[in-house]
Amino acid sequence: MTTHTDTPETGGPATATDGPDAGPRRGAPSRAPRPGLSRGRVAGAVAALAGLVLLILLPLLNLSLPGVLPGPTYTPGSLQLLAMCMVMAAAALTYHLLLGVAGLLSFGHALYFGAGVYGLAIILQNLDIPLLPAMGLTLLIVIVLAHVVGSISLRVSGIPFAMVTLAFAQAGSVIVGRNPNGVTGGDEGLTLRTDNLPDFLVGVANTRNLYWLALAVLVAVFLVVTWVQSSRAGHVAAAIRENELRVRVLGLQPYLVKLLIFVLSAVLVCIIGMVFLLLQSGAVPRAVSADLTITLLVMVVLGGVGSRWGAVVGGVFYTILDQRLTTLANSDAVRSLPDILRVPLSEPLFILGTLFILVVLFLPGGLTGAAERLAGRSGRHNPRRGGQRADTSREILEEAA
């Protein structure tokens, strides 16, 4: 059977035969077969599954990583740090959905993280309802908030969009700081009320369960982000990132796709914020500050912009450094150094900032890009990741079709 379509270049008919010997359709970019791709995907899936099994069993093992973890992996302190790494890695994934997929540079992503933290804390504090209904009510509030903020912010793009999102986030931060009617707790934050929480999520003895909850959320967010990127909406969002004008010319609606990505990322980071509340047993003002959004941006850049695994690696790497560098700064070894070394090494943010500058200057693909180049796989690098040439918007749209 033969079908006729119009080519985008000439408007003339192009013939495609759907038989086994059919050649490539005219007007579409020809792609050479990539030998070993299926084998590579299988190997990657097996490695990921093995890593997931190891992470699940980690609280049951007696493993020590001196200088990285404060103790063996079964101790509450180490599990708390690992759970925080997973929470922040999941939050970085939601920012990757904005920046790496849709190309939206937002300075207000912490607003929805903080809405999840404070929303759930306030509801549990003032309403006598179980945890799951309280989480559902918080999600409903954040969905409405994200629709309102997104519908206004997405009327502009680029730096104006970033400034509008920052303005909304700053408004949320001011409300938290003003502590209206004593609801938010002001600078002291809110303590989590545990009356209606399940017993297996309360107390230091149950840190293991909170670790598994954080791991489950990270896996779920990773799967959702993967599904979105491979969906039609994800391909259109990637095309918008590359060339929004071309997408408009083709008759698509970039505004609706960007709003969908914006709301979805807000909902996901809201869920992560609620897990953060359970992990920290309280809400703190930093959860809605612009500093948190900048931290997520740094995580994505450190790992590699455009890479899902890069967001995860960047989130884990930054969180461990942020926690352990504080211990290093207060150690006797640093105090005994000369002032020219002691002063910078006693400031963890100085070290993190220096590391970020070095990565930006010398590792444009982030940590994951550097790892792939060291492994000799740069020729098979995903072209949509940092440091490599991106697919054109036309090719991306043809994938979506």
**Per-residue confidence band for 391, with pLDDT thresholds at 50, 70 and 90:** very low
* pLDDT tens, residue by residue, 232-273: 988 998 898 888 888 888 888 889 999 999 999 999 999 999
| Separation between Cα atoms, residue 183 and residue 280, nearest integer Å | 19
The least confident of 10-19, 154-163, 231-240 is: 10-19
Measured in degrees and rounded to the nearest 5, phi and psi for residue 15 equal -100, 135
Q: What pLDDT is attached to residue 390? A: 40
Average pLDDT over residues 84-96: 95
Mean pLDDT value across residues 30-55: 72
Percent of the chain with pLDDT over 70: 84
DSSP-assigned beta bridge partners for residue 17: 2
CA distance 115 to 274: 9
Is the Cβ–Cβ distance between 168 and 149 less than 8 Å? yes
Is a pLDDT exceeding 50 seen at residue 1? Answer: no
Task: Give pLDDT, residue 162.
Answer: 94
| CA 272 – CA 398 distance, rounded (Å) | 34
Q: pLDDT at position 118, please? A: 95
User: What is the pTM (predicted TM-score) of this model?
Assistant: 0.81
Q: Between 21 and 168, where is the model more confident? A: 168
Confidence of residue 90 (pLDDT cuts 50, 70, 90): very high
pLDDT at position 224 is: 95
* Mean pLDDT for the stretch of residues 107-119: 95
pLDDT at 148: 96
The residue assigned the tokens 């982030």 is: 366
Which comes out higher in pLDDT, residue 284 or 397? 284
Q: What is the pLDDT of residue 47?
A: 85
Reported as a single tens digit per residue, the pLDDT across 273-313 is 999 999 998 898 989 988 899 999 999 999 888 889 999 99
User: Where residue 396 falls among pLDDT bands split at 50, 70, 90?
Assistant: low
Query: With 80 as the cut, is the pLDDT of residue 76 above it?
Result: yes
CA nearest 391: which of 229, 253, 255, 263?
Answer: 229
Amino acid 379: pLDDT:
46
State mean pLDDT over 81-91. 95
The mean pLDDT value for 130-151 works out to 95
* Report for 190-194, 249-253, 387-391: range of highest mean pLDDT: 190-194
Reduced 3-state DSSP string for 224-282:
HHHHHHHCHHHHHHHHHHHCHHHHHHCCCCHHHHHHHHHHHHHHHHHHHHHHHHHHHCE
Q: pLDDT-based confidence at 334, cuts 50/70/90?
A: confident
Average pLDDT score over the chain: 82
Q: Is the pLDDT of residue 381 over 80?
A: no
Q: Given a cut of 90, is residue 11 above it in pLDDT?
A: no
Residue indicated by tokens 């003003």: 178
Burial annotation 62-77 (CB, 10 A radius, 16+ → b, else e): eeeeeeebbeebebbe
pLDDT of residue 244: 84
pLDDT (tens digit per residue) in 195-227: 888 988 888 888 999 999 999 999 999 999 999
pLDDT at 356 over 50: yes
Instruction: For the chain, give the percent of residues with pLDDT over 90.
Output: 45
Region 87-109: what's the mean pLDDT?
94
Separation between Cα atoms, residue 313 and residue 321, nearest integer Å: 12
pLDDT at site 35: 47
- At residue 248, the pLDDT reads 85
- Position 264 scores a pLDDT of 96
